[in-house]
Amino acid sequence: MKVTKEQINSFIEGKPIAIAGVSRSPRKFGYQVFNELKKKGYEVIPVNPHAETIDNDLCYKSVDDLPEQVESLLIVTQKNQTDAVLRDAIRKGIKNIWVQQMSETADTIRIAEEYSIELITGKCIFMFAEPVTGFHKFHRTLMKWFGRLPK
């Protein structure tokens, strides 16, 4: 499944962005994504079945519970949860779905194709959420030099 720059831009510009797999622990990747996107000014909504709030933001128990205006969902769950969350998002009608690299399974792309969803997968959100900083900025520059950024 080829990811395009247009898909990424559409996702990033979607407001708000729900994030499934946000952790309560600052050491976990799910929390770091939530925190970093929030610091960069993105409107983000955490999804975690075990939390009422995360950093004083209302946390939703599941994708099904998200407000209707949510059009973008970032999935940063453990692999054993990814496909169920993806199916929930498809059922809810969410069209902009990004499965964080390393969260996808062997079935993730098949499920998206079955429902004609243009899924973003195999990419790290930190490479595209502006402003891109630190290691991710360097990595993105390398990808650009070698023609590996989505077009």
Q: Which fold has domain 5-145?
A: Rossmann fold (3.40.50)
Confidence band, pLDDT 50/70/90 cuts, at residue 147: confident
Tokens of 109: 């792309």
Decide if pLDDT at 138 tops 90: no
Q: If you average pLDDT over residues 4-28, what whole number do you get?
A: 93
The percent of residues above 90 in pLDDT, for the chain, comes to 73
At 133 the pLDDT is: 83
What does the pLDDT read at residue 95? 87
pLDDT tens readout for residues 93-130: 998 999 999 999 999 999 999 999 989 999 999 999 99
Question: What secondary structure does DSSP assign to 65-89, as a single string?
Answer: GS-TT--EEEE---HHHHHHHHHHH
**Closest residue by Cα to residue 8 from 72, 92, 88:** 72
pLDDT of residue 66: 97
* Per-residue DSSP letter, 63: G
Strands 53-54 and 57-58: antiparallel
Q: How confident is the model at residue 139 (pLDDT cuts 50, 70, 90)?
A: confident
User: Which residue(s) pair with 121 in the sheet?
Assistant: 99
The pTM (predicted TM-score) of the whole model is 0.93
- Ordered DSSP codes for 89-148: HHHHT--EEEE-TTS--TTHHHHHHHTT---EES--GGGTSSSP-HHHHHHHHHHHHTT-
Tokens 């195999």, residue? 122
Give me the pLDDT at residue 28, please. Answer: 95
